[in-house]
Structure formats: C-alpha cells, structure tokens
Chain A
C-alpha cells in the first residue's frame, strides 16, 4: 500500500510531542477510573484510543481537555507543564478541541452562535457576526463542510451536528482534535466522510485522537493505537505492526470469545403467548402497529427484525402493558390479559428488558440492591405485612451480584456509578429473578461492549432452554440470526415476512426490512 507508507512517513516526520500526559490517576467515588496512565501524542498523527466500555478512554480525554481534574499526574502540552489549573478554556487556547460523544451544542442557539460563542470575550459588546460568518464559510470551503449557519442547531441531523462541532473546534484554532466515539450515531456513509475529513486534517498537520470501542474503525485510519483496559495503559502499538486479533486480546485479556452455541428449538412448542390482531394508534390516528398477530411457544426465541421506528417498540409496550391497543387481544398462558394492569401481567409471568435502560430499566440514583428488588419488593420474603425486610433484600442482592457477575463495589452503590454493561446486568437480573414464563427483550445488548454482549446473549439462550418464551426485538441482525428460532420482519407497523431458522434468506430479509414486498 503506497498511500499507507507515505502517510506513515509523514507521521514520523513531524515527530514532536504535542501532548505528554504522565501517570494520570483519577477516581470517581470509590471507582478508580484511571490508574497511572501515560499518553503521548505526536503532531500530525491519528491515534486510535481503544478499550472496552469503562476502560477510561473518555475520562482520560476529558482530563486532557480540562473537563475533569486529575487526582494525580502531569500534563504537558507543547512541552509546557499545564498540570495546574488546567481547564477547557486553557485547553482551547492551547489548540486542543474535543468533540464529545453527546454533542455539546446548545440546541436553542443558531449554528453561527454555537461556533463563535467560545471565542467571544466578555468584552465583546458588538460582535461582528458578518465577519465571523465569512471566516467560517472560508473554513467550510477548505474542509468541504456544508452547514447552514443561521439554522437553529436543534433542527440539524446528527451528522450535521457533528460537522458543526468539528467546525467549532477548528474555528477555535484546534491543532489537536479529540473525537469521542464519533461514529456511534452516524450512518456508514457519514462515517466514511468523517474519516476522509480527519485524514484531511492530518494532512494539514493536525493531530487526531479517535476514541472508540470499534476495532475496525481504529484500524482503518489510525497511525498508532493505544489500548486501555480497566483504567490502565496496556500498550501503544504501530498500526502496521499489529492486527485486530492482537488488539482485541489486549482489550479483553483473553482470546476472541466464540459465538454462543446455537440452541435447539423446542420440538413442538406449546404457545404461552399470543398476540391477536393488535392495532395501535398514536395521537394523529395514524396506526403505528397494524393488525399484528404472533405467537411464541415455551422455549422459543422469536426475533422481531426491522429498522428502528417501524412499530417494534410500540408492540413491546403493548405486550408489557405500557400502551393500550386500539383493537386486538393479548393472551398469556391462554388467559386474555388485554385489559390487565402491568403489575398483573408481571405476576402472570411476564418479564421485560426495556430498550432504554435509563428511563424504564433502572433508577440510576437508587442502589444496586434497591433496583434488584424493585419489581418484587412487595412480595415475601422481601417484605411482610407491607414492611420491607432489609436482610432478605441484601441476601438476594448479594446472590444476584455474584451469580450475574455484576461488577460493583457493593450493593449499596447507586446504579449510576456502574458501567453500561453492568447496569444492563442489573436489568437482566431484575427481569429474570421473577422466574418469568415470557420475556420481552428490547435491544438487550445495545451500547454494550463485546464481553457484556456475549454474557447477555448467553443468558437469553439459557433462559429459552429452561422453557421461557422469548420475544427478542433487536435492530442488530447478527444478534437475531444468532439467537432466534424464528424471525418476523416489521415494516411500517406491519409484519411483512416470517422466516424459520432453516428457511432463512438473508437477501430477502434485507429487502423486506427496507420495505420491498417479497414477490
């Protein structure tokens, strides 16, 4: 690869340390997020910073950008010690720009205001908006951005917002761009143009830190890759002299995990859940789910495929009882539960793993123990005569933490302090502890790193093997193919196709998801 060597040579030529972080340590409460991490960045290089969720990548970069104060360690930027009183203001002044995973644009302000605001001084009584606008337009032309400066940033698409963020950093004179999980919200096409943009920035001598847990991204454009694991620096390697397997091994400290063993479908399933002709209408009388019927047998995993927003979530909410259907019936174990309350459905054996664990899954301010008994605290042995029995709750919580491998400093720690994967394990433990007969799982592995994903999938399969009927709603096709016995495809609120595991045709599945009728 000629291009690759030229780029690599360029990176070596500018061999000057831009950033030198030494022995950085940071703790949040009792969680040690970073432990004596050293990070050296050269001018004109793209650095991949990889690690699992909770490895400390974002924390390290937030410290470099001055968002967090390190507990210990030295930061040098352009060979100047900046460890004292480091703040985003100084970081910007030194040419460091950070694009956060959750963008820090002010949705109520225009694009122009958002870009210019950080450079305004408190004495700028009459800002020269026209001059700013033309400067930004020049910059746009240089890098090939297309943004509408006078639009409120609220109305922009995610890709556009990211462009505005990068533009903001460049406008401030950033020489170092920190991109925190930049592609998590982008389509593949948007991601591609982002990478082209980063390469263009490198050609101009900028340094880029690409924080990601997606290995292939880091491999695609980085010059060097730094691996963090559990808050420790594991290695920094040249991209040319490594391969994805090696990096993956450093990230998780074990060989690539083999996929879950495909489970056997039950021979003649006995249907424990049926949905019969359910229609759901939203406020504007447009049906979001139209006349859907499905049945799931004991021990069976039914996958519901579809591009997000085609009525899958509404279907799940109707089954659980969060939404009322306009027409149709729902049966659990042969009983018509259409008019039952959520609590009664739960008692009848319905378990639920919600799509968004923060709004429906856990109460992040409450402790691990409290969350684990949230659904069943009114039942013995957790309470008697309406009074809770803390020792019983503690005992069960400790068991659950052990058996589900929830990494937490203790059961009295707020769930908010746990990493995403461990929060999801709490949700899982909570749902499965009721010994459900039916489990509705929505996007159960979204946002989890691969070891947590493997764990959750394995648990779902185990669950099915023990005879639970599972409705698995996911936009991750690999997950559906790996776990489901049958797959139904939803498009615009209707079921447009059904496949058994044996008769699966991947091309046809894709076409159906995109709205093409099978002929």
Chain B
C-alpha cells in the first residue's frame, strides 16, 4: 500500500471527482458544439437511477450500464429535440429538464421502492484501488482533449460552437452536429450518474446528485472549456468533497453539516476568483436556418 498522505488524498479526490469528470466531459462536448448543457444535472440524476434499476432488475452491473446509456440517449434526444430542432432557449429548457427529472426519478424510485431498497454489489477496483469508472474517466479526458484539438471532426465540432454562421457556410449541418453532440453529452452525463450510484454510494435516494452537475458546469467554466484544465478543476472539487467526508468522520467538534457545505463553498470561491472566461463564441445561441 502507498502510505504517503497526499497520494491518499489524490486518490480520494479522484474517487469523489469521477462523477464530476463524466459530467464535465458531457458539458464540454455540448458547449464546444454551442449548446449550453444546463440540463446536465437532470440527465445525471436519470442516469443514476437507471444504473441502479438496471443492476437490480437485470441482476448484474452490465445491465446497469446498458440502462444508463439508454437513459442518456433518451434524455439527449429529448433535450436535443427541444433545444436544437425547435429550437428554444437553451438555459430555460435546461432548468425545466432538471425539475422534470427530479420529479420523474423520485416518482419511479417510489414505484420500485421495494426492489430498490438494497445496496448493489460493489464494483471491485482495477488499479491502485480505483474503480473502472475512475480509470475510464481519466482515459476519456485525454481522449476528449485529443479529439477536440487534434482531429478533423473535433475541429468541425469546435467550429460549430464558435461560429454557426461560418460553420454553415463551410458546409457543416449545424443542426445534425448539435443534435449528435447533445446525445453524446447526455450519455456521458448519465454515466456520471452511474459512477455516483453504481460506482460509489451503491444505492439511489431522491436527488442523490445534490447539484454535482452544476459543480461540473463550474469546473468546465473554470477549465476554460479545455478537458485537461477541467480535470484539474474536478479534482479540486473532488478533494473538497473527500475532505468533507473525512471531516465528518473525524468530526473535530464541528457540526457535520459545515463539512458538507465545503464542496459548494469551494465551487463558489474557485469560480468567483477564476475571473471572466470566454467560452465558445456561439454557445447558448439557438441556431435557425433561414
């Protein structure tokens, strides 16, 4: 075993950050294509529930993964249809989706309450005591960075996010690209939810995500829409969460609720101090062909 305390802290941070990293990856894809992914929290919640339902009813983690991906695709299609095909204001639809998702997941959870009141089996760690989720997250970050900045399709995707007019003029079908990007983004966010329930707390509760999707949004903002920087932001927030758990456990005389505030206060501080960031030029602007 590695004894050094900071390696310990880093691994704990990575464990806590894994769901954030998946969500941040999803947000990156969507916003690089010019669609604000405010609905990430709701998608994450849907993925979190789907993972547990799949694992319990299907009997194994693979079924849970399948259910998660299916939930991500469905959520992605709904979001993409409303915010890209119609299109509607991306912020408003994102917020509305989060509220709907909170209601629907809580409702389904109650319908299946009898079956779901169990802890799903823990997923054995692969390397350094890290779950497959955490390792996949790291690999995906690097792949995403390479994809966005070194490949042809990555360049085209970024072009859509920077300047829809230019992208359209150069022959890209902006609507298709945004539609596809939102579906991929939602699958990634749903996987973030699965990493939280299946890979970590092993059960579902109402609103289990507790705003982690929004923290991931902050991480992307802090990371200037660059996967590697966003990873570091996720780790900072993960460290906050890990510290919160330890503080709660060792409980140095303080009410544990103070420790639980830590990740959120950290988010506020980091984003506040990070200064203004300039995102993709046309992010948030609905695209309409004349």
Contacts and interface: CB of A to CB of B under 8 A. Distances in A.
Contacts of B251: none
B171 A120 contact: no
A105 B167 CA distance: 9
Interface in A49-77: 65, 67-69
Main secondary structure of the interface of B (DSSP, over half): helix
Contacts of B152: 120-125, 127
Contact of B170 (A68, A69, A117, A121): A117
Interface string B255-290: 000000000000000000000000001000000011
B168 A67 contact: yes
Q: Most B CB atoms within 10 A — which of A65, A93, A117, A127?
A: A117
Contacts of A87: 171, 173
Q: Most B CB atoms within 10 A — which of A68, A116, A118?
A: A118
Contact of B155 (A65, A90, A105, A117): A117
Interface in B180-197: none
B202 interface: no
Interface string A85-111: 001111111000010100011111100
Contact of B171 (A68, A89, A105): A89
Nearest to A126: B151
Main secondary structure of the interface of A (DSSP, over half): loop
A314 interface: no
A391 interface: no
A125 B171 contact: no
B163 A106 contact: yes
A28 interface: yes
B41 interface: no
Contact of A120 (B156, B163, B168): B156
Contacts of A124: 151-153
A127 B156 CA distance: 12
Contacts of B167: 106
A89 B173 contact: yes
B179 to A, nearest CB: 14
Contacts of B172: 89, 118
B171 A92 contact: yes
Contacts, number: 78
On chain B, which size bracket covers the interface? 20 to 34
A117 B156 contact: yes
A113 interface: yes
Contacts of B150: 126
Contact of B158 (A93, A109, A118, A126): A109
A366 B172 CA distance: 32
Contact of A92 (B162, B170, B173, B289): B170
A93 B170 CA distance: 11
A127 B146 CA distance: 12
Contact of B169 (A28, A88, A109, A123): A88
A116 B151 CA distance: 12
A65 B165 CA distance: 13
Nearest to A93: B171
Interface string A133-173: 00000000000000000000000000000000000100000
A104 B166 contact: yes
B159 interface: yes
Given A68-B290, A109-B158, A118 B153 contact: no
A127 B150 CA distance: 8
A354 B170 CA distance: 35
Contacts of B153: 120, 122-125
Interface in B198-228: none
A107 B166 CA distance: 10
A224 B167 CA distance: 32
Contact of A88 (B158, B159, B171, B281): B171
Contacts of B159: 106, 109, 117
Contacts of A91: 171
A127 B151 contact: yes
Contacts of A126: 150-151
A123 B156 CA distance: 11
A69 B155 CA distance: 27
Contacts of B281: 106-108
A3 B255 CA distance: 91
B164 to A, nearest CB: 10
Contacts of A90: 171
Nearest to A120: B152
B155 A88 contact: no
Contacts of A104: 163, 165-166, 169-170
B151 A118 contact: no
A125 B166 contact: no
B215 to A, nearest CB: 26
A104 B165 CA distance: 7
A89 B163 CA distance: 16
B145 to A, nearest CB: 14
B166 to A, nearest CB: 4
A384 B260 CA distance: 55
Q: Most A CB atoms within 10 A — which of B163, B169, B290?
A: B169
B163 A28 contact: no
Interface string B132-170: 000000000000000000111101101100110111111
Nearest to A104: B166
Interface in A228-268: none
Contacts of A168: 170
A127 B162 CA distance: 20
A89 B171 CA distance: 4
Nearest to B163: A106
A129 to B, nearest CB: 9
Contacts of B165: 104
A120 B169 contact: no
Contact of A67 (B158, B162, B169): B169
Contact of A118 (B162, B163, B170, B289): B170
B170 to A, nearest CB: 3
A69 B171 CA distance: 14
| Top 7 A-B residue pairs of the complex, sorted by shortest distance between their CB atoms | A124-B152, A89-B171, A118-B170, A104-B166, A120-B152, A104-B169, A106-B162
Given A88-B169, A88-B170, A124-B153, 15 more contacts: A67-B168, A68-B290, A89-B171, A89-B173, A104-B169, A104-B170, A106-B159, A107-B281, A109-B159, A122-B152, A124-B152, A125-B152, A125-B153, A126-B151, A127-B152
Interface of A: 28, 65, 67-69, 87-93, 98, 100, 104-109, 113, 116-118, 120-127, 168
20 contacts: A65-B169, A69-B290, A89-B173, A92-B170, A93-B171, A104-B165, A104-B166, A104-B169, A104-B170, A105-B166, A106-B158, A106-B163, A107-B281, A117-B155, A118-B171, A120-B156, A124-B152, A124-B153, A125-B152, A168-B170
